Structure formats: structure tokens, C-alpha cells
Amino acid sequence: DAKTTQPNSMESNEEEPVHLPCNHSTISGTDYIHWYRQLPSQGPEYVIHGLTSNVNNRMASLAIAEDRKSSTLILHRATLRDAAVYYCILRADNDYKLSFGAGTTVTVRA
Amino acid sequence: DGGITQSPKYLFRKEGQNVTLSCEQNLNHDAMYWYRQDPGQGLRLIYYSQIVNDFQKGDIAEGYSVSREKKESFPLTVTSAQKNPTAFYLCASSIFRGYGYTFGSGTRLTVV
């Protein structure tokens, strides 16, 4: 499985943007970039995914580098409810499985 | 509302006993998965099933067993052969080659 590298932790102030980086230098052409987040004592929830182009949804934006070796999840205005562990995951188009790393723990200060 | 139900939320068992964790989904998803999470760690895949009556081992299947007799249900049995069963267990489902997983709220198993 292609691997991703994320910082262990990040801090942000409430109502400020948060940029979460993810490196995936061994990504293959059929790998989608997925982001999930996990609030304390809950199951992960889907945030966003993309292949080559930048993507936006109601939760976040995903910016993908032109060479696809890195990506950034953008939370436009952090709230206290965004404090969670964020996982960046590569998933091949023909694969069911998601492989989770340690993720980035995001802390939001009021 | 559609979703995944895991029960119970908390489970205590004595060492040496088998225990079965329930996972039911009403999303009409084809694929179902079991993950284990230890404190401060990411999720590790135990078993997954793409279709009824078929399942595959994940990365840490030793000491666990599953069945998939119905599309809606994917129970996980933690056997006495699992050396460190105390953990947070998460069930998930997805549509065929779909992009999003839906997770349940988890079962926290403590073996004493």
C-alpha cells in the first residue's frame, strides 16, 4: 500500500483556517486521496476525497499538488467541533480497503 | 435513518472467554469491515467482506473470526486465542468500489 506522511499534531485558533499537509510521494496513478476525521471516542467520518483536481464540499477543501505527491486539507474556519484526528489515506480505484496511519491531531483554541 | 449499529457500546469479559461483537447496517452497502484501534493509534484492519458468504483477512486477523450470512450483518468474534483483546472495535461499510466508508460508533471491549 502507498504510504502517507502527516504531522503528528497541529493547533489552530477558532474561526481561523487550518491547513493540514499530507505527503504521498509513492502515489500511483489510480490512487485516490481520501480524508477522514475521528472525534474522541467515535468512529471516523468521511471528509473529502480527490484524484487530481482540487475539490470542495461543505466540510472542507482538498488541494492536490500538480505532481500529486502531496495534498492539503483546508478547513476554512475552524470551530471547536473540528478538534479531531485527521487521517490522509490513499485508496486504489480497484481496492476496497482503507489503511489508516496515526493521523494529525488538530487542537482548536477558543 | 440509515446507518451502522454496533452493540454493545461497552463490553467486559473475562480472559479466556470468546465474545461476539454485533454490527448491523441498513445502508444496503455491499462491503463491510472490522477495524481495531488501540489508544493513541490508528485503525488496523481485522477482516473485510465484499459480498455475502465471502470474507478476507486483514492485517491482524489472528485470534478473530467473522461470518457474513446476511448483507446487513457482519459479526466479529474475539476468541480466546487473541492475546491482547482489550481495544476499541469499529465496524464500517461501503458501496461497491464506493468512495466513502460509513463507520459505526464502536464497541469498547475490556478483557479482565
Q: Give the model confidence (pLDDT) of B1-49 as tens digits.
A: 679 999 999 999 999 999 999 999 999 999 999 999 998 888 999 999 9
> pLDDT above 70 covers what percent of chain A?
98
Q: Is the pLDDT of residue A48 over 90?
A: yes
| Chain B interface disruption, residue of A97, A104, A105, most B CBs within 10 A | A97
A94 min Cα distance to partner chain B (Å): 7
| Residue bearing the bigger pLDDT, A3 or B60 | B60
What does the pLDDT read at residue B95?
83
Please answer whether residues B3 and B26 qualify as being in contact, where contact means their C-beta atoms are separated by less than 8 angstroms. Answer: yes
Q: Which residue has the higher pLDDT, A55 or A98?
A: A55
How far apart are alpha carbons A29 and B18 in whole angstroms? 43
Alpha-carbon distance of B29 to B34, in angstroms, equals 14
Residue A22, CB half-sphere, CA atoms under 13 Å: how many?
A: 30
Residues of chain B positioned with their CB less than 8 A from the CB of A32: 99
B residues 16-55 lying closer than 8 A (beta carbon) to A: 31, 33, 35, 41-45, 48, 50
Q: Is A43 on the interface with B (CB under 8 A)?
A: yes
Of A87, A97, A101, nearest to B45 by CB-CB distance is A97
Beta-carbon neighbour count of residue B29 at 10 Å? 20
Residues of chain A neighbouring B43 (CB-CB closer than 8 A) = 44, 100
CB A26 within 8 A of CB A99: no
Contact B106 A87 (CB under 8 A): no
What's the average model confidence in pLDDT over A68-84?
A: 96
Contact between A78 and A108 (Cβ < 8 Å): yes
Residues of chain A contacting residue B105, judged by C-beta atoms under 8 Å apart: 42-43
Nearest to B84, CA basis, from B37, B48, B47, B22: B37
Collect all residues with Cβ–Cβ distance below 8 Å to B32 and sequence separation of at least 6.
B23, B25, B48, B49, B68, B74, B91, B92, B93
Contact B90 A32 (CB under 8 A): no
CB contact under 8 A, B33 and A101: no
pLDDT tens, residue by residue, B55-112: 999 999 999 999 999 999 999 999 998 989 999 999 999 986 666 899 999 999 999 8
Question: Does any CB of chain B come closer than 8 Å to the CB of residue A46?
Answer: yes
